[in-house]
Amino acid sequence: MAPARKKHGSSKPYIIPGGFTELSLQFSSDSAARHKLYVKEHRVRAEKSSRRPLDRTLFVLNIPPYCSKAVVRELFSQFGGVQSVELREHPGSFQDSEPKLSKFFKPAEKQGFKVGYIVFQNSSSVTAAKSHSHNSPLVVSTEQRPVKTGVQKWIQQYKESFIQPNKLQQIVDSFMAGYDKRKEEEAERQRKEGEQQQEDEEGWVKVTRGHKGTKARPHSEAANRRTLQKEMKKKKRKELMNFYTWQHRNTQKLHIAELRKKFEEDKQRIALLRAQRKFRPY
């Protein structure tokens, strides 16, 4: 039987279709099983975000559940200084969470494989990570950096789930202070918009020019609310007036009778004026 052919080189990176480079991940130094990570340079030009610079961001697929942000930072710090690490369930554009909630008020994260965006301090670190040999696995748990799994991990998570009442009160007070501040800013903004766009007696709205660079806001929320109220009143009045078909028919008959009566009065007035007109040659 012919000997098995080597799949990869000994020191060269293994590149798969799609431009991804395969990296080996090993939980511990004495573990025989290896996990595969797939990395490539993040180059989504449609995404214009300073949090993911195109030349310094590494996109990582198939990150196992036991790798937290701290673990991923330590694993890839051997290629250079890591600025930030972002782990998500699915790839997508960067979204700021507004407002930023404490971990005690966030829903529990789903346990599963994730994708990551690793931002390095230098662009050369991305090249170093892509050129890393797949035969040199990245070790997750070491003596200097142990990673707990199984029962030990559950015990640690259970202990970390408890929080002191005074600390929780501080978090709640901080959140409510930020919430009240945002509400006050929103009310002040609406008040200014209402002052700038007020309807006069005839229903005209004065639109003032804003600061340079600001987006035009042709309709404020207050103006839209007033317009909606007027439309609702009109619709309600019409529905009450013509609720029944016979009401609508009688209204039309009365209107036609008034027009005929006015027509007859105009005819009589014209005939009277003609009768009073006399020929006066001198």
24-40 residue pLDDT tens: 888 888 888 888 888 88
pLDDT number for residue 120? 92
Residues 132 and 167 in one domain: no
- How many separate domains does the chain show? 3
Residues 83 and 163 in one domain: no
Residues 30 and 121 in one domain: yes
pLDDT number for residue 49? 63
> Angle CA(47)–CA(51)–CA(52) in degrees, nearest 5?
55
Position 129 in a domain: yes
Q: Which of residues 116 and 103 earns the better pLDDT score?
A: 116
Residues 173 and 140 in one domain: no
The answer, yes or no, to whether residue 4 has pLDDT greater than 50, is no
The DSSP code sequence of 53-71 is -TTTEEEEEEE-TT--HHH
Instruction: Return the bridge partners of 58, or none.
Output: 41, 118
Position 175 in a domain: yes
Residues 23 and 35 in one domain: yes
Question: How much is the pTM?
Answer: 0.52
Residues 43 and 163 in one domain: no
Residues 137 and 47 in one domain: yes
On average, the pLDDT of the chain sits at 77
Q: What is the pLDDT of residues 104-157, one digit of tens each?
A: 666 666 778 888 999 999 989 888 888 888 788 888 888 777 777 777 777 877
Q: Which of residues 159 and 81 earns the better pLDDT score?
A: 81
Position 224 in a domain: no
Residues 176 and 114 in one domain: no
Angle between helices 221-241 and 165-196 (to 10 degrees): 70
Residues 161 and 263 in one domain: no
Residues 55 and 127 in one domain: yes
Distance (Å, rounded) from C-alpha 32 to C-alpha 29? 8
Question: Which range marks the domain in which residue 118 is found?
Answer: 14-146
Position 136 in a domain: yes
Residues 174 and 117 in one domain: no
Q: Give the CATH number of the domain where residue 41 resides.
A: 3.30.70.330
Q: Pairing relation of β-strands 20-26 and 35-41?
A: antiparallel
